[in-house]
A and B are shown apart, each in its own frame.
Chain A
Amino acid sequence: DGGITQSPKYLFRKEGQNVTLSCEQNLNHDAMYWYRQDPGQGLRLIYYSQIVNDFQKGDIAEGYSVSREKKESFPLTVTSAQKNPTAFYLCATRLAGERKQFFGPGTRLTVL
């Protein structure tokens, strides 16, 4: 079954803890992106990666980190430095040469 998977769907975290959100794809897409969505706001870009072992900061990278060791995987770590981490996190992918981004189902993170 092809597509983009994000896990877990729901995640609860205590303040001060780091947490890692998973994004896996079997579409053989080259570029991967992480967005954050808050109520009443659009999607905001956190980090993106165009090729393996390379990634760049987006507009709101502070308090987040990523890695891209495999083409299929682009995990996002929300660190304790992120001041307001409760949000809906979306991963997206794009095939090189194409413009459309395809989105995964998202992970809803709640910090207690």
Chain B
Amino acid sequence: EDKVVQSPLSLVVHEGDTVTLNCSYEVTNFRSLLWYKQEKKAPTFLFMLTSSGIEKKSGRLSSILDKKELFSILNITATQTGDSAIYLCAVMDTGTASKLTFGTGTRLQVTL
């Protein structure tokens, strides 16, 4: 059974801090790892990682995958209150249905 573990479960930081969110996984046939941000309702897509060592970057957010050690990290620099959300990590297997297995998420709160 595929498994995704995220840490920490929750985190409170001050605006301007840098945070690192962790995601480790066990997947029989790994295809991709995806990060989503969930503020109130619908999760929104952030990154998809397939190859080791290649950093994906979007503004203050970046993510990298280590397929040997089976983990990924999501970094947020210079955090803002608008970054407060649940960050979800999911892994996709090689099946044709592209099913996702999600972790429990990390709840990030950025305070002034």
Is B a genuine binding partner of A? yes
Q: Is the CB of A102 within 8 A of B45?
A: yes
Q: In this complex, which of B6, B34, B92, B102 has the most chain A Cβ atoms within 10 angstroms of its Cβ? A: B102
Measured between C-beta atoms, what is the minimum distance from A1 to chain B in Å? 15
Say yes or no for A42: interface residue by CB 8 A criterion: yes
Q: Is the CB of B104 within 8 A of A100?
A: no
Q: In this complex, which of A41, A50, A99 has the most chain B Cβ atoms within 10 angstroms of its Cβ? A: A99
Q: Is the CB of A31 within 8 A of B98?
A: yes
Q: A90-B43, A105-B42, A106-B41 are in contact. Are A58 and B88 (CB under 8 A)?
A: no
Interface SS of A by simple majority: strand
Say yes or no for A27: interface residue by CB 8 A criterion: no
Instruction: Considering the complex, give the chain B residue whose CB is closest to the CB of A43.
Output: B102
Q: In this complex, which of B31, B36, B48, B100 has the most chain A Cβ atoms within 10 angstroms of its Cβ? A: B100
CA A104 to CA B98, docked complex, whole Å: 18
Say yes or no for B28: interface residue by CB 8 A criterion: no
Q: Is the CB of B42 within 8 A of A104?
A: yes
Say yes or no for A48: interface residue by CB 8 A criterion: yes
Say yes or no for A61: interface residue by CB 8 A criterion: no
CA A25 to CA B45, docked complex, whole Å: 17
Task: Mark each residue of chain A from 33 to 53: 1 if its CB lies under 8 Å from any CB of chain B, else 0.
Answer: 101000011111100101000
Those of A16-71 within 8 Å (CB) of chain B: 31, 33, 35, 40-45, 48, 50, 56, 58
Chain B residues within 8 Å of A, Cβ to Cβ = 4, 6, 9, 31-32, 34, 36, 41-45, 48, 88, 90, 92, 96-105
